Amino acid sequence: MKVRKAVVPVAGLGTRFLPATKAIPKEMLTVVDRPTIQYIVEEVVASGIKEVVLITSAGKAAIENHFDYSFELETYLAQKGKFDLLREVRNISRLINVVSVRQKEPLGLGHAVMVSESVIGGEPFVVVLGDDLVDAEVPCVYQMLKIFERLEESIVAVQKVSLKEVHRYGIVEGEEIEPGVYRVDRLIEKPTVGATKSNLAVIGRYCLRPEIYDCLHRTLPGIGGEIQLTDALDMMRKERALYAYEFKGRRFDAGDKLGYLEATVTFALEHQDIGGPFKEFLKGLVKNLD
């Protein structure tokens, strides 16, 4: 079963970044020199997937335009002889085929995935959340696809978080069956303190069998009155196996101001042109901190 498509929900309002996101989608906020959504798409492409299904809402046209061919801009750059920039801009539109589907009401992540059903059909697919940027030697999605090839069951990516933080995530309870791979026995969306002893938090990478749609159709609104993907997955693990995978890499919550800054600094330090000078700048800054 080959995974050919990625679903990327981008319908959220981005209220955590207001007023910056009043007129631009949060997915277009820049980390160093690229909008966050481009990091997501590059991870997907580096994992061998070329079809991206964006789940959008009103006001998100900038994301579609970003991955589209821009005749005016490309003509201008060619005329001015700015061939390096032209190559960069062309690469973006050549990265992937994008299909957009509208999520007509903000009914939750589970609902966002459900609206992709008509374009995904009966194939396995990955879901990649735009807020979660992963810095990894081997792309996180690729790591998951390798495990999916072997186990042929749905997989959620997890990382260990402190017990104080579990209430911010979907939490997995399960048994480690091989290093870094857990058989999921239970999934709880944003548990209250004491509701679970596990600290295995789901981050925004899922590799799903198409049976998830049937579970989503049967999932009732959960926490926050929303259709939760976590609840549909908890239903699915009762009907067939579900695994959690502790990916190798560092994840940033780019939907949060501090996480966004951490991602910016990390990716800036790794940047081939500005990494060196930026490191010098930081060293000077740190010296002057008390």
Rounded Cα distance, 254 and 36, in Å = 8
> What is the nearest approach in angstroms of ligand G1P to the Cβ of residue 200?
10
Q: 41, 55, 129, 166: which one contacts ligand G1P (CB under 6 A)? A: 129
Rounded Cα distance, 41 and 31, in Å = 14
> What is the footprint of ligand G1P within residues 173-202 (CB under 6 A)?
189, 201-202
14 binds ligand G1P (CB under 6 A): no
Quick one: which segment of 83-91, 126-134, 138-146, 276-284 binds ligand G1P (CB under 6 A)?
126-134
203 binds ligand G1P (CB under 6 A): yes
**Up-side HSE of residue 241: CA atoms within 13 Å toward CB?**
12
130 binds ligand G1P (CB under 6 A): no
Bond into 19 cis (ω within 30)? yes
Contact pattern for ligand G1P over residues 150 through 169, marking x by CB under 6 A: -------------------x
Quick one: which segment of 45-53, 77-85, 95-103, 226-234 binds ligand G1P (CB under 6 A)?
226-234
170 binds ligand G1P (CB under 6 A): yes
263 binds ligand G1P (CB under 6 A): no
Residues near 61 by Cβ (< 8 Å), separated by ≥ 6?
A: none
**SS3 state at 74:** helix
Rounded Cα distance, 92 and 146, in Å = 26
Q: What phi-psi label fits residue 212: left (phi over 0), alpha (psi between -120 and 50 degrees) or beta? A: alpha
Interface with ligand G1P (CB under 6 A): 109, 129, 131-132, 169-170, 189, 201-204, 228-230
